[in-house]
Structure 1
Amino acid sequence: MATPTVITQEQLERENIEITRRYKEMLKNTYVTLSDDDKKLIRKAFDLAVEAHKDQRRKTGEPYIYHPIAVAKIVADEIGLGATSIAAALMHDVVEDTEYTLDDLEKLFGKKIAKIIDGLTKIAILNKQDVSIQSENYKKLLLTLSEDVRVILIKIADRLHNMRTLESMREDKQLKIASETIFIYAPLAHRMGLYNIKSELEDLSLRYTKPDDYYAIDRKLTETKEERVNYINNFVSTLQDKLNEEGLEFEIKGRTKSINSIYRKMVKQGIPFEEVFDLFAIRIIYRSDRKNEKFLAWKIYSMVTDLYIPNPKRMRDWITQPKSTGYESLHVTVMGPLARWIEVQIRSERMDEVAEMGIAAHYKYKENISEDDTKVDEWIHQVREMLEQEDTKDAIEFMDNFKFNLYSKEIYVFTPKGDLHSLPKGASSLDFAYAIHSNVGDHCLGAKVNGKLYPLSYKLQSGDLVEIITSSQQKPKLEWLEYAITSKARSKIKASLNSDKRKIAEEGKEVLIRKLRHLKVDFSEQTVNQLQQFFKLTSSLDVFYNVATGVIDNADLRQYADRNSGFTGLFNRFRKSTFPTPKPKVEQPLVDKTKLDSLVFGNDEERLDYEIASCCNPIPGDKVFGFITVSKGIKVHKVDCPNSISLQANYAYRIIKAKWIDSSQREFKALIELQGIDRSGMVSDITLVVSKNNSLNMHSINLSEEAGIFDGKITVSVKNKHQLEEVMKELQNIEGIQTVKRTYKN
């Protein structure tokens, strides 16, 4: 947030020179393509933004205007938008943070720019209110995003620059913003076709949500950089010779996969960095007219696979059938020298610009296609339809569904007439029915897939030909929600199931307002959320419905009113104790980790009752945080818990800082997973390592063997993380054991 400050005349002059330099740098790559009117518009927006923000500073102490200039540069260079968007980016915080009003901007710049800034301002205001993703207000945010595609793109640019400068924020804010970014903005960038920005957002989010993992991978990439550069150069040199022989005009770029993609592969496959073999990606960008693009792509593909053996399971053809974002490319993974897998991407210059710039380039190359027919506008329409009709019974599920539909891989299926539809991977024939039309979905009985009858739960595969069987007597059923995965299908099913319930709930809402007034309790969103939690219901609709049907009666509401002040006080106390005005950092003495085994909470380091979260089972020495539950007090989670991102993004206001201190009153269970080559005496060697340490207690050991390979799990009690790491090192040294790792799954 911008804050006023006082500066000297000398400092002001230096900063004005720097502001001018940054402004020119922002326009350097696009200046020659802008018309005179475009340049005047951008200069006018810049002058207004400089004037509006002249007394404001960022958390870094820099002039606030540096931020909108940086956002405008991302909009111009990395997304490739035009003058209207650049001007809007320069002024995106003016209405929120200064005395200028939306009416002022509309008079000066017209309705189009004012509408974009209005959308960006609404999002900024909602974020300032610490709106949680589970709130209905977050849906309003998404509705705002979908009003104009430029609002989405500028907001992504704004979030990217915020993430690039996140180190100046408090640690709790870093975690909240990073979690929110990975939860919604990275998927949005993915859906907009901004794959480079999506990768950077993911990497930056990982840096703050799982810093140990991020920096460990970053160090290893740095250590192996020279080797990787030499390897890529050798691989590229061979390809260049082959392509030059054919007289092709091309450029080859080599890169290492992103830190986040490497991390995901390590977690998914349960392997260390050294065993991630497909670290490399090569991009061949060739020059071609539109007529010969496909022909040349497949020609280059055949030349690559003549040189290197391809992996048939890793072939991806997005030229014959582009992604719904307009992305076109041929991907093939080949076995390079030294038996290393390398992904090769083949695309024309036009395809590469679409891949780099996403939607902006898609509009640029749409030629004679009207905007209403583009895939982008189709998606924006689907988003609005989903948001306006989605039932709020489980808002977290709604956000998960929304994210899923942004991020998911696609499959392509056909109607009997040969029309092609794209669906998320894992979609059922029921999802396909709703994709065709809501009425088809509402009345579907089953599906013929490739001529054979299947139930509505059948998961479709790319290339399936699907015919939906309907009946006018059929109606949506509750069990349909078990296998419908697309947001459109789920929202339509819920809307049908809940239409009668909504009418009753509306009456219940009016009754509730009157009863709360009698109890001297204000009716508000916060009150409804507390009622929902107090009565352990899943939505505001359930609260109103239960009031209308008498399930919640006067005595229940009085009990809530009596306990309400205590419930509110708990949250307020934790918020104040957890997030006070930050103090200057001081160098902390080294701590003996072997003695860390008791928890304190908040900045005042209070001793409070808590439970260890079973999803991640933190032990002393782990980085942790507390989560205030509604009915079970404080649950302690690891910072890198599988549920951490969701909790931080959805319930940041219920997070409390937690810290291990020196005590020796408790022991903690930890689960160790082993894998290796079986041999005689293996079990006794393992138990010997654990048992020889008198301070360890082994609760269980479970080993299984197949074809000479064994898998095992040991449950032990330890005082702290250091103790656990020591025993794991000893286990790793046992002959035949290949991997030793801590796990959280029994």
Structure 2
Amino acid sequence: MIAVDDLIALVRSYNPKTDEEKIKAAYDYGRQMHDGQMRQSGEPYFTHPVSVAAILTEQRLDDATIITALLHDTIEDTRASYSEIEKLFGKEIAELVDGVTKLTNIQLTSTETKQAENFRKLFMAMSKDLRVILVKLADRLHNMRTIRAMRAEKQAQKARETMDIFAPLAGRMGMQWMREELEDLAFKVLNPEGRASIIRRFITLQRESGDVIHKITSDMRDELEEADIEADVFGRAKKPYSIWRKMREKEQGFSRLSDIYGFRIITQSESDCYRALGAIHQRWRAVPGRFKDYISQPKSNGYRSLHTTVSGRDGKRVEVQIRTRQMHDVAESGVAAHWSYRDGVRSENPFAVDPAKWIAGLTERFEAAEDHDEFMEAVKLEMYSDQVFCFTPKGDVFKLPRGATPIDFAYAIHTRIGGSCVGAKVDGLRVPLWTRLKNGQSVDIITAEGQTPQATWIDIVKTGKAKSAIRKALRDEDRDRFVKLGRELARVAFSNIGKRATDKALETAARHLAISDREELLALIGSAEITTRQVVEAVYPALADKQGDVVSKDRAVVGLRPDQSFRRGPCCQPVPGERIVGITVRGQGVVVHAIDCAKLAEFEEQPERWVDLRWHEGPHPEIYTVTLELTITNDAGVLGRICTLIGEKKANISNLNFIDRKPDYYRLIMDLDLRDIEHLHAVMTALEAETDIAAVDRLRDPGRGLAAAAE
């Protein structure tokens, strides 16, 4: 364990004016509170907070952050309280310790809905004082460095959480060194064989070609000296996980991967950065499309640097980053540079970003998300994306995630511009709206009055802002159409039981189903979010349940043992009247398949799992869902006539989804609730006879059966 004097020496090295007595008091208090507690490795627990504090000294952080690290687990794990810490160390430190405690209690790996809410809490805690997340990141880094003491399943859970949340967050904050180490430590747990293979390849490469890093570093120093540029040059091999990710992204083997080495040139001034770039490009050939100027267009976390890739010795590609010492400090510390000390005073680094503005910019885009899925999508887009900088014709700059399109650019300017976008010019040339923008391009958006967002844009855009705005516009536009469709579906469903879908009946259904009003009910029916069966049962439960002398669902299949349950295979959706066979599935009873189901081929070598079944004789209720794919003409009233036709055949539409919209036709998927195979044939025959229906097919998907069997 690091002794208190050694820890104070680390702080004093960058802050000679540190409050040594206060740090010593926090050290003694933390050790006393954690006395008797042990880590899973068998070490005293207090070794962990001290190590976290030591990690933060590498970022030259202020006394308050160092003391918070020493005390960060006291409120949660010991008898210490907020009021006691406030009394001993002041309100600032008490609030920081409390903030870290609250972060620790947020369970970030859970269901999507809960995870979205927890991310909101995470950003809320960060917005109060960003230093709490700096302590939490250092806490996670030390835990990952000592993760081998944990149980295997706990290691995997922490590693996935680190890879999904903490590593991207460190990168988003500009702490790239921490991101890389967190990713590599998680990679070591999640894929030890993959990491070991990368390291073995490195050893072999070094044995075959010698110390490439030393040779290239020496060459670069010679070039800079000849150009009379004073600079430091550092080289390194990239982390195993970084190389593994590149191999997967580029679908290349290690031997074909070229840019596995990175070099940094630290100059004395900004002008020297560009002079050094010229010297490097004069000696080595630059790789086209790999130059980025983050000095003139810095990242939102304050990062500034010139990036280029050149063909070095023996044709090997190497990445080169060129920046000043102050830029390098921000590149190493990111947003944390705001609190960094040098020579006993807060570092006046002109490139350090204001943490309050940074967190405000990060969170404002999440506040507009209307549901959990949209929020999570926005979070992941923001945390995982690199950025490109594009210009309007007037020279205004907009930052977008890599892979963004002109539509993203239009929405970045204004929601109204995005919604009315009909085309774009990039660097003066007309391009498709799905074009991926590149750094430094000039984008001119073409708009037209009356244009509205298209459904296909959702799959084109990259930014959370654009996706949210498009979804909202589509919801508003589709509402009228869904209400009309819902009214027709409700009319047919009520007529099947001899009733009318009056306003009063629909209002009653809405009240019973806890839906705000009649219009909302019809919109939900039209968008297939609720079924007409639910609506009818809400108003007339007795009539809906009245089936006469029909065969109940629980005794629909003959041939099962008394202790066996069954369910229909989603792959073939068998209905009464079809020949069937059962396949036993552990923990799921028997899955019933049509005798001609393609999935049955998988079980040819497992005869012990086959069960001879048949449908029960007699009339069955209209509860067996069959999926149809229809191609219909795009004309007024066609869909209404189809719904009426299906209703006349006493079938219920339980779901409807458009999968392709063209000017002359629509393709849609429709789920119908039917009695038996004769009922299905009657419906399909009637549909095939309709002149506005180009094609009707029963949709069977073996993939759905495979997915279901794997559940």
Scaled to the shorter chain, the TM-score interval is: 0.5 to 0.7
Partner in structure 1 of residue 365 of structure 2: 386
Partner in structure 2 of residue 88 of structure 1: 68
TM-score normalised by L of structure 1: 0.59
1:314 matched to 2:290: yes
Q: Deviations over 1:81-103 (max 9, x none)?
A: 22121122222222221222333
1:198 matched to 2:174: no
Q: Deviations over 1:95-148 (max 9, x none)?
A: 221222333333433443333333322221123x96445524322343234313
1:184 matched to 2:161: no
Partner in structure 2 of residue 48 of structure 1: 29
Compare relative contact order (CA 8 Å, sep 6+) and give the higher one, 1 or 2.
1
Partner in structure 2 of residue 626 of structure 1: none
Secondary structure of the structure 2 residue equivalent to 1:343:
strand
Partner in structure 2 of residue 97 of structure 1: 77
Question: Aligned in 2, Cα 1:108/1:495: closer, same or farther, shift over 3 Å?
Answer: farther
Partner in structure 1 of residue 564 of structure 2: none
Question: Aligned in 2, Cα 1:254/1:466: closer, same or farther, shift over 3 Å?
Answer: closer
Partner in structure 2 of residue 305 of structure 1: 281
1:61 matched to 2:37: no
Question: Aligned in 2, Cα 1:332/1:103: closer, same or farther, shift over 3 Å?
Answer: same
> Offset at 1:205?
1.3
1:627-706 equivalence runs, <5 A: none
> Offset at 1:491?
3.4
Partner in structure 1 of residue 661 of structure 2: none
Secondary structure of the structure 1 residue equivalent to 2:106:
helix
Equivalent of 1:421, from 398, 407, 426? 398
> Offset at 1:275?
3.3
1:136-147 equivalence runs, <5 A: 136-147=116-127
CA distance in 2, matches of 1:324, 1:232: 31
1:130-169 equivalence runs, <5 A: 131-132=110-111, 134-135=113-114, 136-147=116-127, 148-169=129-150
- Amino acid in the other structure paired with 2:71: M
TM-score normalised by L of structure 2: 0.62
Partner in structure 2 of residue 296 of structure 1: 272
CA distance in 1, matches of 2:28, 2:528: 51
Question: Aligned in 2, Cα 1:88/1:267: closer, same or farther, shift over 3 Å?
Answer: same
> Offset at 1:370?
12
Secondary structure of the structure 2 residue equivalent to 1:320:
coil
Partner in structure 1 of residue 694 of structure 2: none
> Offset at 1:418?
1.4
Secondary structure of the structure 1 residue equivalent to 2:299:
coil
Contact 1:131-1:137 within 8 A present in 2 as well = no
1:113 matched to 2:113: no
Q: Deviations over 1:405-432 (max 9, x none)?
A: 2222221111243111111122123322
Secondary structure of the structure 2 residue equivalent to 1:56:
coil
CA distance in 2, matches of 1:370, 1:313: 26
Q: What RMSD over aligned residues (CA atoms) do the two structures have, in Å?
A: 4.2
CA distance in 2, matches of 1:370, 1:254: 24
CA distance in 2, matches of 1:412, 1:115: 38
Partner in structure 1 of residue 388 of structure 2: 411
Contact 2:11-2:18 within 8 A present in 1 as well = no
CA distance in 2, matches of 1:313, 1:610: 58
Question: Aligned in 2, Cα 1:310/1:43: closer, same or farther, shift over 3 Å?
Answer: same
CA distance in 2, matches of 1:383, 1:510: 40
Contact 1:331-1:345 within 8 A present in 2 as well = yes
- Amino acid in the other structure paired with 2:95: K
- Amino acid in the other structure paired with 1:81: L
Count of aligned positions: 506
Question: Aligned in 2, Cα 1:80/1:446: closer, same or farther, shift over 3 Å?
Answer: farther
Q: Deviations over 1:360-408 (max 9, x none)?
A: 236669959799xx4754441233223333233536xx43542232222
CA distance in 2, matches of 1:408, 1:28: 38
> Offset at 1:273?
2.8
Identity of aligned residues (%): 36
Secondary structure of the structure 2 residue equivalent to 1:57:
coil
Question: Aligned in 2, Cα 1:473/1:151: closer, same or farther, shift over 3 Å?
Answer: farther
CA distance in 2, matches of 1:85, 1:549: 57
Contact 1:126-1:137 within 8 A present in 2 as well = no
Contact 1:193-1:325 within 8 A present in 2 as well = yes
Question: Aligned in 2, Cα 1:466/1:317: closer, same or farther, shift over 3 Å?
Answer: closer
Question: Aligned in 2, Cα 1:50/1:149: closer, same or farther, shift over 3 Å?
Answer: same
CA distance in 2, matches of 1:366, 1:162: 29
Q: Deviations over 1:7-63 (max 9, x none)?
A: xxxxxxxxxxx4xx3434434333144365643443333233222211211111111
- Amino acid in the other structure paired with 1:124: T
CA distance in 2, matches of 1:341, 1:393: 43
Question: Aligned in 2, Cα 1:62/1:423: closer, same or farther, shift over 3 Å?
Answer: same
Partner in structure 1 of residue 256 of structure 2: 275
1:485 matched to 2:494: no
Contact 1:434-1:489 within 8 A present in 2 as well = yes
CA distance in 2, matches of 1:429, 1:221: 41
CA distance in 1, matches of 2:102, 2:532: 33
Question: Aligned in 2, Cα 1:487/1:208: closer, same or farther, shift over 3 Å?
Answer: same
1:230 matched to 2:206: no
- Amino acid in the other structure paired with 1:382: G
Secondary structure of the structure 2 residue equivalent to 1:188:
helix
Question: Aligned in 2, Cα 1:231/1:424: closer, same or farther, shift over 3 Å?
Answer: same
Q: Deviations over 1:663-717 (max 9, x none)?
A: xxxxxxxxxxxxxxxxxxxxxxxxxxxxxxxxxxxxxxxxxxxxxxxxxxxxxxx
Q: Deviations over 1:424-443 (max 9, x none)?
A: 12212332233234555466
Partner in structure 1 of residue 300 of structure 2: 324
Secondary structure of the structure 1 residue equivalent to 2:289:
helix
Contact 1:105-1:114 within 8 A present in 2 as well = yes
Question: Aligned in 2, Cα 1:98/1:343: closer, same or farther, shift over 3 Å?
Answer: same
> Offset at 1:191?
0.9
CA distance in 1, matches of 2:270, 2:85: 47
Secondary structure of the structure 2 residue equivalent to 1:421:
strand
CA distance in 2, matches of 1:254, 1:369: 26
Secondary structure of the structure 1 residue equivalent to 2:219:
helix
- Amino acid in the other structure paired with 2:408: D
Q: Deviations over 1:219-260 (max 9, x none)?
A: 333454466663322222233233334444322212111101
Q: Deviations over 1:613-652 (max 9, x none)?
A: x9xx9xxxxxxxxxxxxxxxxxxxxxxxxxxxxxxxxxxx
Partner in structure 2 of residue 242 of structure 1: 223
Partner in structure 1 of residue 102 of structure 2: 122
Gaps of 5+ in 2: 341-345, 484-507, 516-523, 546-553, 555-585, 592-598, 603-711
Question: Aligned in 2, Cα 1:68/1:513: closer, same or farther, shift over 3 Å?
Answer: farther
1:335 matched to 2:339: no
1:402 matched to 2:383: no
Partner in structure 2 of residue 744 of structure 1: none
- Amino acid in the other structure paired with 1:434: Y
Question: Aligned in 2, Cα 1:311/1:478: closer, same or farther, shift over 3 Å?
Answer: closer
Question: Aligned in 2, Cα 1:245/1:480: closer, same or farther, shift over 3 Å?
Answer: closer
Question: Aligned in 2, Cα 1:481/1:328: closer, same or farther, shift over 3 Å?
Answer: same
Q: Deviations over 1:512-569 (max 9, x none)?
A: 899xxxxxxxxxxxxxxxxxxxxxxxx9xx99989999599699xx9xxxx9xxxxxx
CA distance in 1, matches of 2:27, 2:535: 59
> Offset at 1:344?
2.5
Contact 2:8-2:23 within 8 A present in 1 as well = no
CA distance in 1, matches of 2:197, 2:7: 34
> Offset at 1:464?
3.3
> Offset at 1:467?
4.5
CA distance in 2, matches of 1:513, 1:113: 48
Partner in structure 1 of residue 336 of structure 2: 360
CA distance in 1, matches of 2:454, 2:305: 41
- Amino acid in the other structure paired with 2:321: Q
Gaps of 5+ in 1: 1-17, 515-538, 564-605, 618-746
